Structure formats: C-alpha cells, structure tokens
Amino acid sequence: MLSKSKSLTRLFMFQKYVGILCILVALPIFFFDTHNNMLLLLGLFILFTAPGKYEDERSVSLKTSSLYFSFILSYVFKLLTAHLSLPFNLTDVNHFMILVFSLSLLLYYIRFYSFK
C-alpha cells in the first residue's frame, strides 16, 4: 500500500514537466493558428494543478486566491476590449481561459517566491 502511494506521488511530480512540455509544443502552434489552442489550454491547466514539492496550506491558499484574482482581471480585460475599439477581442472562450490560467500562474509564482 505504501509503495503505491509513493509511485503515485512520483507520477504527480512529473505532472509539472508534462504541462511545460505541452505549453512549449503548443505556443508555436498557437501563434500561427489561433483557433488550435486546446493543447495550450491543457498545458496551462496541468501546470496550474501540478503539486509542488511541499504542498501546504499557504501554497493552496495562494493558488486559489491567484485564480480568483486572475479571473477578475481577465473578465475586466474582456469587458474593456469589448466596449473599446481595440484591434483585438477576447471573443473565444478558450482565449479567455488561457488568459485566466496564464495570469493565475504568473501571480502564484510571483507571490510564492517573493513573499516568503
């Protein structure tokens, strides 16, 4: 029983690398074809849900609050781009979710490593 939990823990430690690999593969595809973005969304989601080496209450709280804050910022950005005459819009749901997950990862890592 203990060996199964260790192997599952080891499997989840590779989750971060799978997310980074998906993002690195999907970024050139996303820039050339903006309609093909599910791999980028999947990579950002995998990277966001990947556990750290030391998962404690602080890191979980930072992840959830970063997700809340990035959702609010992304929605404000979506509303501003819809009502202002800017050359780009967040009309696709996948683009909105890519913005949410990328902002939440950025906020999480900035807050996690700068305020120890």
- Domain positions in the chain are 2-114
Q: Residue 67 pLDDT > 90, yes or no?
A: yes
Please state, in angstroms and rounded to a whole number, the distance separating the CA atoms of residues 16 and 32.
Answer: 25
Q: How confident is the model at residue 32 (pLDDT cuts 50, 70, 90)?
A: confident
- Residue 110: per-residue pLDDT: 93
Residue 114: other Cβ atoms inside 10 A: 7
Q: Residue 86 pLDDT > 50, yes or no?
A: yes
Whether residue 106 contacts residue 74, with contact meaning beta carbons closer than 8 Å, is answered with no
Task: Please tell me which residue, 114 or 93, carries the higher pLDDT value.
Answer: 114
Please state, in angstroms and rounded to a whole number, the distance separating the CA atoms of residues 92 and 44.
Answer: 17
98, 100, 103, 108 alpha-carbon torsion, rounded to 10°: -120
- Model's pTM, two decimal places? 0.81
Tokens of 75: 């929605």
Q: Residue 5 pLDDT > 60, yes or no?
A: no
